[in-house]
Structure 1
């Protein structure tokens, strides 16, 4: 259809906001949800009238904030823009802004006429967990560490109080940094997951919180350090449990004992084998939800996973030292309760910089979640699976493997292959010849059109440098984003066909997405603000999400080399990298979720965790100025924001006028 010459911006905005038939829903209003403005005078084109359509979107980046404007360093700051181009050659540019739903610790509506503490913790009996560290100041624990989120809709949703259209956000909280007395509580509390019912204004796309529901995780024995998350192709929230507790040292693990005490009221009630798995949350039409924990995707340091378009192939991050490349292929689409687990073999083709390799895949075994869970419920112990030595026993029946930054000598107990594959996955994968040499393998996301997966390697250090796990590259310390080409027709290392069209076959860093450390190495040189890495390039990438319609890879940082962490947008066609958002100093950019279209509107979810988590010497220059500002903004550093990127109301008003 030939576009109408020079269509008015008002007509395009209104039409795009009301026409779900366009390739990008409300493309020109992408991220403009919640802008407000008077649409009464606007009219959509008559049926059959030609109009200009969306072609491309471009993010115009912001500068990194500095001490010249300290307030901008102490909060979520958005100074970026979105330029939208149309089929007639015209374009429109919009300023962007940030809209929070709440700060953790706020009292928010529970949908029943009462309130609940946002980010609040609950034990296995769904009773609030109370921080009693300061006598006379008892309060429910709440998290300062927002992480993975999903935004979704249900056709049969029905939640009282919604005046527009119901939209649901699933939000998980990784941990809380400290108690009121200042003592660390990292990993000691069972991670909560909440379902937010949001009221979407059909005219503006604005999302307003009307109900906060805490998901009952008792059937999953509570959750352990939930980090990144993704939305499955079948509309469920795929969570994570990272840094699985080592079952061989559990007797001396005071962190795990505290977790068990807070969760069950008993320091010995929890089994380490119940944690390090993949939880899946299903949202109900009334804004409640249920959870199941899948025990058959490997017990590793699960980070952000991504399910391929076949709805069976799962690519997984493994946020560990001596971590691996893991892939799970489900037996049935939309069902992660059974399948085959693989570990990758890094066949290095270059060791220069972040390196490159071809990949081959070693099968570790097939299992159902039920049978592995039954082993755990049956009381299986670590010594039932492996005999492990931490020094060389001088016995050839043991095999030396890399493990957690060092080496161990292991011997598999007879008949325990399946238990080892799914409960002692790191040890078994190394024993089978997998390349257990990666460090801080964080987010994973897929560009379906190009059949490319993107991997965030947050830091390149230790086992990636020394070759202990079959990987030996140069860096940089501040990490890189790697790309993997995905192909069908592959066979595993035994010669058996791999039943997937989405198998990674190689791996190399994206040139524009390689960090640049000052001084050429770990913490060697700082700029005038304190950065150890170039602030105009990514550093320690963590969260990753790809927008098919915007052709944009979003990258959130978890950096100990940038004073402020940033959210970036990288256009895979133009190769342009743009800084979209800056988090408060000391905070990590989390909760990333790019949604191409919900009822004609496009959203990018973005949160952060642990604001004012000062590191020395990184923050020595800025801390005296920023610490009081961060404390004032975020509940004395106990709070963190959950929200989304939107359009600046002034910008949109001008565009519509």
Structure 2
């Protein structure tokens, strides 16, 4: 929710890598084929044990590559920082400002009114990193700045300050693969009414960035002028538009798509036809049409979108899953029935929003059970609602109140903290993170909830699920779903382990297992699923590597105490170099509340505050040291490739 990687000799680690590039002579091809990769194994690092280690973003893990000729080589890994969100590396209207500074509708940096010096806001929460394939010979990175934890006065600013993204042009050393920021610019969201809490993101198969807007503001509560939601959206509008009367909850909760042209200019659209939910990430399948979404929060749903045309998310059909539990072992399992919510175009939904529609224009409500009303419970409202869709408002309900409408049609809205989604294309597997398997995913002890589809064991440290993808599937009414990537079931793959009480470092989950999986990224080349933590159960959060063939799990990165590991992105090949990006956000957060005895907690807090700043900044960077294959300089050498 809220809250890594220079390549020393980095490479495109494709297991059947194109070592047979057309430019190579036949003799060179034959020589290089001898050094194809057979397997990649990450050798994990220990958890940090000293104050110094607990404050750093670091790795001392390594990766061992086994070649088809039987030789092996181990490469040490290190972490490289590109910049921090507080660094004045971004250029806004000719002025150097911090990378994490948001801009308003006119492109001006937004001032923190609580700052005595009237300094600009600086987000401490960098998230998604998408490294676009080269455009006109240039390499670009798009980064999310998810939110502002506190203002200058130390008061919560979460969701009150408009969010932002940056476009960084990267310099890449052609001999080493090392990356450096050449220029950083803020991306203009004025055409789509600004950006709301962007969590993770992904690279589309057509080389655009797909972002997210999570924790969409509740439109029903917005109508209460005294509500926290109303105040939040109006404060956001005042900062962004300079006019709180322009506040509209239906502006937010969608999938932004950012395109970078040959001149390095970014343009933005929002895909309203993908539905309005707590978007964590949109992941496109190999057909260029099917998309899966994480829906973060409590009492949320699992959604799938099938576009009408390839490489075009402006029109399509939206589906929601009904979970039919089949087991509770190893985290749990269930069959998925897909319910068709309807078809729409972006323009149709945008026109509905522009009409000034409100929640009360879409639904009739009752405070008690009543004939014709459907009882539901979903994330944004948090309690049982009795709703009836007004005649002719089905499309508005489906695409502006997606989770509510899905629940009314019988879909499951009982998932808790559904986070990242990623794809293993070769094996046709989708991976889905449930960060905290508790609350709505447990059996309802009261028997009063409208539905109780999910009755799984409580695992506060979460579960990473695997979903097989198949063709020839039908929806809940027996109609064909026009996609070859439909998930008929899901089952637990990697399960966290809760501890009965905190250990000496304040961990309430086994430190040698994944706790609270959030960001997921899969490397086809390395046959490895990478997992970044957003853990309240680990004092330091980690990035893990899970080999899908050997089932071995290795810790490969530690971020500062209290920080979340975000922006995870495993990249197999950018100009023949491989990277694993990972950021950190909100360092030091909630450490004061932990029971820590193994080190002096006051010294730890002081060190975080002095070396980084508690909730003041976040870091953008990547893991360095991945091996280099395409030129074979380290694999072909008798000295460097040793058994």
TM-score w.r.t. length of structure 2: 0.90
Q: Which residue of 1 aligns with 2:338?
A: 361
State yes or no: 1:385 paired with 2:362.
Answer: yes
Shift of 1:444: 0.6
Does 1:203 pair with 2:175?
A: yes
Cα contact 2:498–2:508 (8 A) shared by 1: yes
Query: Equivalent residue of 1:419, what SS?
Result: helix
* 1:146 counterpart (119, 126, 136): 126
- Higher alpha-carbon deviation: 614-623 or 358-367: 614-623
SS in 2 for 1:248: helix
- Matching residue of 1:612: 588
Deviation at 1:111, TM superposition (A): 10
Q: Is the 8 A contact 1:26 1:600 kept in 2?
A: no
Which of 122, 130, 140 in structure 1 is aligned with 2:103? 122
Following the alignment from structure 2 to structure 1, what is the Cα–Cα distance between the partners of residues 641 and 606? 39
Q: Does residue 499 of the first structure (1) align with residue 482 of the second (2)?
A: yes
Task: Give the 5 Å matches for 1:538-577.
Answer: 538-577=514-553
CA RMSD of aligned residues (A): 2.5
Q: Which segment drifts farther, 546-555 or 622-631?
A: 622-631
Q: How many residues align?
A: 606
CA contact (8 A) 2:586 2:614 kept: no
Look up the match of 1:181: 153
Equivalent-residue separation in structure 2 for 1:57 and 1:472 (angstroms): 38
Cα contact 1:25–1:600 (8 A) shared by 2:
no
**Cα shift at 1:620:** 4.7
Say yes or no: does 1:237 pair with 2:209. yes
Q: 1:133 maps to what in 2?
A: 114
Alignment partner for residue 646 of structure 1, among 611, 614, 624? 624
CA-to-partner distance for each residue in 1:212-267, whole Å, 9 max, x for gaps?
01110001100110001111111111100011111111132222221111111122
Using CA pairs under 8 Å that are at least 6 residues apart, name the structure with larger relative contact order, 1 or 2: 2
Tell me if structure 1 keeps the 8 A contact 2:421–2:430: yes
Structure 1 window deviating more from structure 2 (313-322 vs 405-414): it is 405-414
Mapping for residues 186-265 of structure 1, pairs under 5 Å: 186-250=158-222, 251=225, 252=227, 253=229, 254-265=231-242
1:62–1:579 Cα contact (<8 Å) kept: yes
SS at match of 1:50: helix
Distance 1:399 1:541, change over 3 A: same
Distance in 2, matches of 1:21 and 1:539, equals: 29
Cα distance change, pair 323–637 in 1 and its aligned pair in 2 (3 A): closer
- Aligned residue in 1 for 2:31: 50
| Counterpart in the other structure of 1:91 | 72
Q: Alignment partner of 1:487: what SS?
A: coil
- Are 1:338 and 2:347 counterparts? no
Which residue matches 2:630? Answer: none
Q: Aligned partners of 2:616 and 2:237: how far apart in 1? A: 23
In 1, distance between residues paired with 2:591 and 2:458? 22
Structure 2 alignment gaps of length 5 or more: 1-7, 628-633
> In 1, distance between residues paired with 2:153 and 2:52?
27
1:533 and 2:505 equivalent? no
Look up the SS of the partner of 2:349 in the other structure. helix
TM-score where L is the length of structure 1: 0.88
Moved more, 262-271 or 491-500: 262-271
Aligned equivalents of 2:17, 2:164: Cα separation in 1: 34
Q: Kindly tell me: are residues 48 and 265 of structure 1, through their superposed partners in 2, closer, same or farther at Cα, counting changes over 3 Å?
A: closer
Deviations 1:327-374 (A, max 9, x none): 000000100000000000111111346321111100000000111001
Q: Is the CA contact (8 Å cut-off) linking 2:579 and 2:626 kept in structure 1?
A: no
Shift in Å, 1:84: 1.1
SS at match of 2:476: coil
Matches within 5 A, 1:150-549: 150-157=130-137, 166-250=138-222, 251=225, 252=227, 253=229, 254-352=231-329, 354-389=331-366, 391-392=367-368, 394-404=369-379, 405-467=382-444, 468=449, 469=451, 470-510=453-493, 513-519=494-500, 525-549=501-525
User: Corresponding residue for 1:630?
Assistant: 608
User: 2:516, 2:577 → 1: CA distance?
Assistant: 31
Q: 1:380 offset after TM fit, Å?
A: 0.6
> What SS class does the counterpart of residue 176 from structure 2 fall into?
coil
- Asked if residue 73 in structure 1 is aligned to residue 54 in structure 2, the reply is yes
